[in-house]
Amino acid sequence: MTTTYLLTIAVAVLAGLIVSRPAKKLQLPAVTAYLIAGILIGPYALGALGVDGLGFTSSELIDSLDILSDCALGFIAFAIGNEFRLSQLKKTGRQATVIGICQALVAALLVDIVLIAVHFIFPDKLSLSAAIVLGAIATATAPAATLMVVRQYKAHGPLTDLLLPIVALDDAVGLVVFAISMGIAKAIDSGTVDAVSIIVNPIIEIAASLALGAAMGAILTYIERFFHSRSKRMSICIAFVLLTVGLSMLEIEIGAVTLSFSSLLVCMMLGTVFCNLCDFSEELMERTDGWTTPLFIFFFVISGASLDFSVLSDVTIILIGIVFILTRAAGKISGTYLSAKAVGCSPDICKYLGITLLPQAGVALGMTITAGEELGSADAAVIRSIVLFSILILELVGPMLTKMSLLRVGEIEPDKRTSARGVLPGNRKG
């Protein structure tokens, strides 16, 4: 089995790199190329041949490599934390906060309204509980795809400065909305209201995640000062991200309250505290990003391989999925436009920022898994199918829309040359 794992990982990274060459000529983002590579070597294409080591032969094999995906998300969140430097937040903090909260809430509300209407039209296809939970899942934006497009094209400017903090804040808002929606959905199913699960648990999760990340960031900064070798400092940085990812997976039961953590929020806070306390953090961030390049490529390739094409066999799911995608897009774009205009952003930011928030992947899938564990099997199956269909479309289209928006506002140079190093977080100039 070890041989199969090693061959599969190697083939995945090589496939991503190979597909990225023609994708570059077609002016597609590298993220899209990696996702397409994953589809090509996934269970519905090359993997269907059943040759061990030659692509992903089954969804079980993909699931067994989740640890690498968890690590990649940890490093991606760590890199996003680097965008929360106090000097930058003084300029954009208020705008990012208002827009981040408003666009998520508008998307959730609009999806809830439309899908509840769909429930009354097709009550046997979509339950009220499932409609409410899908509204919460609509808040989630994929931080990885957004970050990688920004870094590949070395985008810089007012829109980019707002985008990454908003994507980070989006996850915190999404966690709260999802927890509340899950509590309401379970109350509808059971007929009882649990205030702990609706209000207390999500607040505790966010507070605990931020506290753990801040503590780890402070400890990392302290320990780094005892070492002067660049390679050793980088090694400590990598070890701390891995350690933080591991700690964030712990769950502690305290009476009726579950103390759990969001690995994305924990690692974001780790990066935020570290970049603000450590005076040589920027150099370390760049060196760490260089080490993680193959990991990021593998993460997106395996994300493409995990896209479930079996959902395309159900016409009803496709129709509801299309409604979900369009309504979510309308909520994200309108919510961003109105809130950006309210806080005095430029017309270009008002017009294009919302489009960059459409990618959806890991966070939404994590919410889907949680919903599957806590709701009935019928509701769980419907939610999973609709979200997988949404991810299938938005993961492929979203990065291209992000690139298009950044081009339109002039924050990507049209003839800008990019390279493998251009994909790295931390390589932005300007």
**Tens digits of pLDDT across the chain (430 residues):** 788 889 999 999 999 999 988 887 877 777 778 888 988 998 888 888 888 888 888 888 888 888 888 888 888 788 877 767 777 677 777 888 899 899 999 999 999 999 999 888 888 888 888 888 898 888 888 777 777 788 778 888 888 888 878 887 787 788 778 877 877 887 776 666 565 656 676 677 778 888 999 999 999 999 988 888 888 888 999 999 999 999 988 887 776 666 778 777 888 889 889 988 888 887 787 777 778 888 888 888 887 887 767 766 778 878 888 999 999 999 999 999 999 999 888 898 899 898 988 887 667 776 776 676 667 667 777 887 788 788 778 877 888 888 888 888 888 876 544 444 444 444 443 3
Enclosing H/E stretch for 380: helix 377-408
CB atoms < 10 A from the CB of 375, how many? 21
The encoded tokens of residue 161 equal 């400065």
> Cβ atoms within 10 A of the Cβ of 407, count?
17
Residue given tokens 């299309």 in the structure block: 322
pTM to 2 decimal places: 0.72
- Cα–Cα distances (Å) from 187 to 26, 129, 190, 317, 346, in that order, read 50, 9, 5, 25, 43
Which DSSP symbol is given to 424?
Answer: S
DSSP code of 242?
Answer: H
196 touches 257 (CB < 8 A):
yes
Residue type at 73 in one-letter notation: L
254: helix, coil or strand? strand
Q: How far apart are CA 295 and CA 99, in angstroms?
A: 31
**CA gap 182, 178 in Å, rounded:** 6
Q: pLDDT tens across 26-55, in order? A: 777 777 788 889 889 988 888 888 888 888
Q: What are phi and psi of 61, to 5 degrees?
A: -65, -40
Write down the residue that tokens 């897009």 correspond to: 329
pLDDT, one tens digit per residue, over 207-258 is: 888 899 999 999 999 998 888 888 888 899 999 999 999 998 888 777 666 6
> In sequence order, what DSSP letters do the residues of 170-192 get, joined into one string?
HHHHHHHHHHHHHHHHHHHHHS-
**Cross-strand bridge partners of residue 253:** 258
